[in-house]
Structure 1
Amino acid sequence: MDNLADLDEYLEHLCTALGHADRRVSLKDYCRGLMLPIARKSVEPLAAYTDPMHVRAKHQSLHHFVAKSTWSDSALLESVRKWVQPALVAQTGHYWIIDDTGFPKKGKHSVGVARQYCGQLGKQDNCQVAVSLSLATESGSVPIAYQLYLPKDWASDTERRLKAGVPEDLVFATKPEIALNQLRTAVESGVPPGVVLADAGYGDETAFRDGITEMGLFYAVGIRPGTTVWPPGVSPLPPIPQRGRGRPSSLLRRGPGHEPMSVKALAMGLPPSAFQQVRWREGSNSTLSSRFASVRVRPAHRDYWRSEQRDEEWLLIEWPEGDTEPLKYFLSTAPADATLEQIVFVTKMRWRIERDYQELKQEFGLGHYEGRGWQGFHHHATLCIAAYGFLIAHRLNHRGAKKNSAQSEVLALPDGYIPRGSRADTAPRT
């Protein structure tokens, strides 16, 4: 591997977050194993490739480290962030990207497994889903928080929780609620403030958007076509004037012919001149561009229970040339003087999380953990992010280096080695 001294220094830096010196060797071996170009990166193959002459003993120590040892995931992720952050040169500011990812999983005993939407499969299926927060700039990104979503039937099942080691104080939380907690922790930890980016699964939740604003952060989030807003120049009606005795009403009103409209209806009513072709970055084969329009609106969700109208925001509409209707909608609290090009550029920065997950799954075995417990699931993911963090920092500090120049070489396996669980008549690997 190039820059072995850099890797050693990085792993020593991470070891300070473990709490006990006897965990240092396991962390280093696990992270080095995750960087190897091998097909499967669960505990047993990692043990075989990192210490091929003592596979059984190494397997036991790595399994204990990832499944049983009580080191802090948040502390280790904080160490990863502090190492990578200086390399994330912020030419256009920082971005905090919220997203979730699914892992197909059979059975019902692995923690958090349920029939739910799995992005990897593009459909409802048996899977685990984790919510993450990534710190990003125009130059790169790295996850800084990661938590498994626990469906309601899991959160209320005492027996399964106990077997999987789910923390006693953990209660059911929706994905937007998990994301808000991750954002609050980032604010409290002094992470450089960034514009929060998320898809419609999060952005369509008014409480999620309000929570971001309460933290003093800006956002640019996706919303669904049915989300209602007050169009430009239209606001809720004032409270009913007091008549006679009794407490005066303080709630905003709607009335016949004075109702909010869906963002799709608003977009369909805009003239063609409202849309402009905007380019936002260079893709692998061509410049990425589309048609956009931006309009100042007021979100209308249940404002008839409010005494004050909501602030104006930007509604961004993407309507590609030739399509019969708009493709995507976004709400953004960008400043009122922001240009269309600026709003599009910031909103489209969410693409970075897709590359993160692609590499974490394909190169670092994010979905390869075979245990069933809460702690092992999170420890494995944290170590995958730790290995990925070194790769990101290496790329940013050595621009122009080959993509896999930070990848380790695979050690030879001993003669007669057969992975656990293989059939007795399986031919040994060499």
Structure 2
Amino acid sequence: MGTSKRFDRYMAHLALGLGHADRHAGLKGYCTGLMLPLARKSVEPMAARVDPLHASARHQALHHFVAKAEWSDAEVLRRVCQWVVPHMDFSRGGWWIIDDTGFPKKGVHSVGVARQYCGMLGKQDNCQVAVSVSLACDQGSIPVAWQLYLPENWAQDPTRRKRAGVPESLRFATKTQIALQQLQTLLSEGAPRHCVLADAGYGVDTGFRQSLSDMGLLYAVGVTSAVVVWPPGVEPLPPAPYGGMGRPPVVPRRTAELQPMSVKALALSLPAQAFQTISWRQGTNEPLSGRFAAVRVRHAGGNAGKSRLRPQEWLLIEWPADQAEPVKYILSTLPASISLNDLVSAAYQRWRIERDYQDLKQDFGLGHYEGRGWRGFHHHASLSIAAYAFLMAERLIADKPVGGKKNFAERQVPALPEDYIPRGSPARPATRDPFDHDAAAPTQLRTARPPRPMSLLRPRKQKTTLVTQ
């Protein structure tokens, strides 16, 4: 079966989750537009390219489909998983990767826009931020949950909420709370308990790590250099004896000799022979490697070290030979028997979500949505992920990059007529947000063996089930 026929079948599979047959054309037209080599993948230029002879009518139809139609983003992403997951090989393990990404914006009316940290810019600026969870294996990864972070000033403003169509049931939640809820939902639907990866923005939160453990999930998450631990070989004294009044003591006792220390101080105290050079994956031109050490520690709570005694876990330290001090710290509950090579390899799988964001923004228009509403923002993201997922599945099927990322879609649509005048010309002005198009190489998804057949995610009846091997 050719790629074009598989694309038609994929569209038909996703369309079953839209609720109404009249939305099928909008789905195929929108996804096709997202896969075309357009500089701007907002509704109007996609409509003009997909149906140039009826650009105005198609623009209205696609705009209604993405901004107004009441279809479920969660159901579409579930069906995306059903299509892609059977081609992913989890024989060497899987990972849940948590991260967030920002979209620079001007003005104050787009839903969730506020002055906050934007990873795309590397600084505080006016932007929207979305939290996602991706499912990953050695071959690649795909976002399976996506939600806009709604800042507190937005969450408490009923006028702006109503104007942007924010669901009435939605309340303010931190990014870590959003991520935990996304994971909890996935697990309740039968998702496997893979190891969770996240950067220090999430990992430094003690409650976040404890919640992962409470859900039965292993983790390898970044922390800052100020996090305090009980170093190897140092065990605090048990809590003071209970005196019979008030709550029983739970904080381990310390003495002048028994003190916790920051992970930075611990790293600086390690001998040079504790560090090894480990190569964790093949880069574009050469293997990527670093200088690492791993020790067993107990987290000691806040900077004051006042917390109940916690189980031992790994502290993974990266300290390049040309740096004056370590550059990265990771706490992990992966098994105590794991080798340093495997620990580094697992913890550094988080690079995949950065590549997902890069490709989604550059090639699939993730940041190009020009509407202001909650529904349109999430619909556009779900469709961008759907388009990205199809190309990922094609690479996995072929076990190599598909020649010409979007050529198959491009061949199905006519070229623009010579007399076409896009909206936004001086005759018909329209506002546009600036877009910084960062160049990036296409994702190379490789595997040492052909993908094994995987259990297909079954259609929803009473309870959704997510099954992988």
* TM-score when normalising by structure 1: 0.95
Asked if the contact 2:240/2:253 (under 8 Å) is kept, the reply is no
Match of 2:119 in 1: 119
Match of 2:422 in 1: 419
Find the aligned partners of 1:41 and 1:78 in 2 and give their Cα distance. Answer: 24
Find the aligned partners of 1:242 and 1:49 in 2 and give their Cα distance. Answer: 75
Match of 1:38 in 2: 38
- In structure 2, do the counterparts of structure 1 residues 403 and 290 end up closer, same or farther at CA, with 3 Å as the change threshold? farther
Match of 1:251 in 2: 250
Match of 1:85 in 2: 85
Q: Deviations over 1:369-414 (max 9, x none)?
A: 0000000000000000000010000000012344534532163122
- In structure 2, do the counterparts of structure 1 residues 167 and 242 end up closer, same or farther at CA, with 3 Å as the change threshold? closer
Match of 2:237 in 1: 237
- In structure 2, do the counterparts of structure 1 residues 163 and 351 end up closer, same or farther at CA, with 3 Å as the change threshold? same
Aligned amino acid, residue 158 of structure 1 = P
Q: Which aligned pairs between 1:207-286 and structure 2 lie closer than 5 A? A: 207-242=207-242, 246-247=245-246, 249-257=248-256, 258-286=258-286
Match of 1:314 in 2: 314
Match of 1:147 in 2: 147
Asked if the contact 1:196/1:221 (under 8 Å) is kept, the reply is yes
Runs of at least 5 residues in structure 2 that lack an aligned partner in the other structure: 430-469
Aligned amino acid, residue 140 of structure 1 = G
Q: Which aligned pairs between 1:2-401 and structure 2 lie closer than 5 A? A: 3-242=3-242, 246-247=245-246, 249-257=248-256, 258-302=258-302, 309-401=309-401
SS across alignment from 1:240: coil
- In structure 2, do the counterparts of structure 1 residues 254 and 241 end up closer, same or farther at CA, with 3 Å as the change threshold? closer
Asked if the contact 1:228/1:300 (under 8 Å) is kept, the reply is yes
- In structure 2, do the counterparts of structure 1 residues 360 and 248 end up closer, same or farther at CA, with 3 Å as the change threshold? closer
Asked if the contact 1:236/1:252 (under 8 Å) is kept, the reply is no
Aligned amino acid, residue 252 of structure 1 = V
Which stretches of structure 1, 4 residues or longer, exceed 4 Å deviation after superposition? 302-306
- In structure 2, do the counterparts of structure 1 residues 240 and 304 end up closer, same or farther at CA, with 3 Å as the change threshold? farther
Runs of at least 5 residues in structure 1 that lack an aligned partner in the other structure: none
SS across alignment from 1:143: strand
Percent pairwise identity:
59
Q: Deviations over 1:99-152 (max 9, x none)?
A: 111000000000010111111111111000000000000011110000000111
Find the aligned partners of 1:214 and 1:241 in 2 and give their Cα distance. Answer: 28
Find the aligned partners of 2:167 and 2:246 in 1 and give their Cα distance. Answer: 48
Find the aligned partners of 2:17 and 2:34 in 1 and give their Cα distance. Answer: 19
Asked if the contact 1:2/1:405 (under 8 Å) is kept, the reply is no
- Aligned residues between the structures: 424
Aligned amino acid, residue 68 of structure 2 = K
Q: Deviations over 1:327-353 (max 9, x none)?
A: 100000011111111100000111111
Find the aligned partners of 1:75 and 1:215 in 2 and give their Cα distance. Answer: 23
Deviates more, 1:327-336 or 1:233-242: 233-242
Asked if the contact 2:239/2:253 (under 8 Å) is kept, the reply is no
- In structure 2, do the counterparts of structure 1 residues 422 and 248 end up closer, same or farther at CA, with 3 Å as the change threshold? closer
- In structure 2, do the counterparts of structure 1 residues 221 and 425 end up closer, same or farther at CA, with 3 Å as the change threshold? closer
Q: Deviations over 1:181-232 (max 9, x none)?
A: 1111111122233110000000111111111111111110100000111111
Q: Deviations over 1:41-78 (max 9, x none)?
A: 00111111111111111111111110011100000000
Find the aligned partners of 1:95 and 1:2 in 2 and give their Cα distance. Answer: 31
Find the aligned partners of 2:67 and 2:272 in 1 and give their Cα distance. Answer: 58
SS across alignment from 1:54: helix
Aligned amino acid, residue 288 of structure 2 = L
Find the aligned partners of 1:247 and 1:47 in 2 and give their Cα distance. Answer: 69
SS across alignment from 2:53: coil
Aligned amino acid, residue 349 of structure 1 = Q
Find the aligned partners of 2:247 and 2:3 in 1 and give their Cα distance. Answer: 72
* TM-score when normalising by structure 2: 0.87
